Amino acid sequence: MSSTWGENIKLSVFGGSHTGAIGVVLDNLPPNQKIDLDAVRVQMARRAPGKDKTATTRAEADEPQILSGLLDGVTTGAPLAAIIANTNTRSKDYSDLKVHPRPGHADYTAAVRYDGANDIRGGGHFSGRLTACLVFAGAICRQILEKRGVTIGAHALRVGAAWDTPFDPVNVSAAELNALNTRFFAVQDADAEQKMRDEIECARLQADSIGGVIECAAVGMPAGIGNPMFGGVENVLASILYGIPAVKGVEFGAGFAVGEMRGSENNDPFYYDETGAVKTRTNNAGGILGGITTGMPVLFRIAVKPTPSIGQPQQTVDLTAHRDAPLMIVGRHDPCIVPRAIPVAEAAAAIALMDLLRGAWRD
């Protein structure tokens, strides 16, 4: 495994769905940063399961226990470590997953990678539960970023056939993002939420699941941040975003739409705004040129695949008998993880932008 991430801050994530606890270490945070733990809990709650019919009914408090790095609510500069207890682990027999790997899950690949030693219970270290660690770490980082004027927010852009209004890439504001970034199932357009819930409910009633796309923006990032060629903003964001289970695509600004665009359309014209700052009139670049921030909103989208655990009969193999075999998955599942993945996307963005800013050195 390689669950360590970061150049300028170091993130280490550990635990599995059914281990003693899951946890996270954040090394090299700046000292003297006041952390509001209630605001951290708000983020944890957004991701926590058991809210409604869009998510698994497994309910866990997800209360982080901070072991070090904070003193009287202020970062000390030493590694900030926290664990989250696994309180709702059904003691069922998971051994069948070793024999019959679930399609779309990591059961088979993990068995090959770890020579069968991987902890299969609840998906082990591959469980979406690990994203609680990202949300915790991101909740710390976003508070530090907010004091520096950086605000992050995301919404469900699509779930199946239902779409929300995309962000205005030029004018998306901190106020808009703040209206989203403490909500469960954040969308911009009230109608969109209901349409998306209908998509999800329909999938759930058919014992199926549904995928989606999340759009995330960060405003307030100063121009000049990023370290090309390989430490650019896109590289750094993508390298952590693909650590979120179920993400199969990451795009910035106009993203894949650039494939049909002309340069005259895609190029964002520069101008001076009334404050004397250099801005661009459009933002197809997603706030990033040459891997470096332009000062415009940083904008990205991630594709979230439908939850692989579904209640329909599936085809798999029997790894013991070496033959094909049918599979019927029983248990609690999210028919759609998009709503719960929204705070995870924001958290990953916060960690990545923190890392990038932490490495900026002005001479």
| DSSP code for 231 | B
Least distance CB 290 / a second copy (angstroms): 2
Annotated binding residues, written as ranges, equal 47, 53, 125-127, 290, 305-309, 332
Cα distances from 256 to residues 250, 276, 284, 320, in angstroms, run 9, 32, 11, 42
Chain-centroid distance of CA 337 in Å reads: 11
Annotated binding residues for FMN, written as ranges, equal 125-127, 290, 305-309, 332
Least distance CB 175 / a second copy (angstroms): 26
CB of 20 closer than 8 Å to CB of 89: no
Question: Structure tokens of 217?
Answer: 């923006």
Number of neighbouring beta carbons within 10 Å of residue 220: 18
Residue 336: partners with Cβ closer than 8 Å, 6 or more residues away = 54, 159, 199, 200, 203, 209, 210, 211, 212, 306, 307
Question: Structure tokens of 83?
Answer: 């664990």
Least distance CB 222 / a second copy (angstroms): 8
Least distance CB 251 / a second copy (angstroms): 3
Closer to a second copy at the Cβ: 175 or 360? 360
Least distance CB 232 / a second copy (angstroms): 6
Closer to a second copy at the Cβ: 220 or 232? 232
Least distance CB 207 / a second copy (angstroms): 8
Phi, psi of 225 (to 5 degrees): -105, 130
Q: Which of 268, 261, 315 is nearest to 104 (CA)?
A: 315
Closer to a second copy at the Cβ: 31 or 175? 31
CB of 305 closer than 8 Å to CB of 104: yes
Closer to a second copy at the Cβ: 182 or 266? 266
Closer to a second copy at the Cβ: 166 or 182? 166
Q: Which of 363, 222, 202, 349 is nearest to 288 (CA)?
A: 222
Helix (H) or strand (E) holding 82: strand 80-85
Closer to a second copy at the Cβ: 112 or 175? 112
Buried (b) or exposed (e) across 120-129, using 16+ Cβ within 10 A? bbbbbbbbbb
Give the angle subtended at the CA of 253 by the CAs of 247 and 255, to the nearest 5°: 60
Least distance CB 164 / a second copy (angstroms): 12
Closer to a second copy at the Cβ: 8 or 173? 8
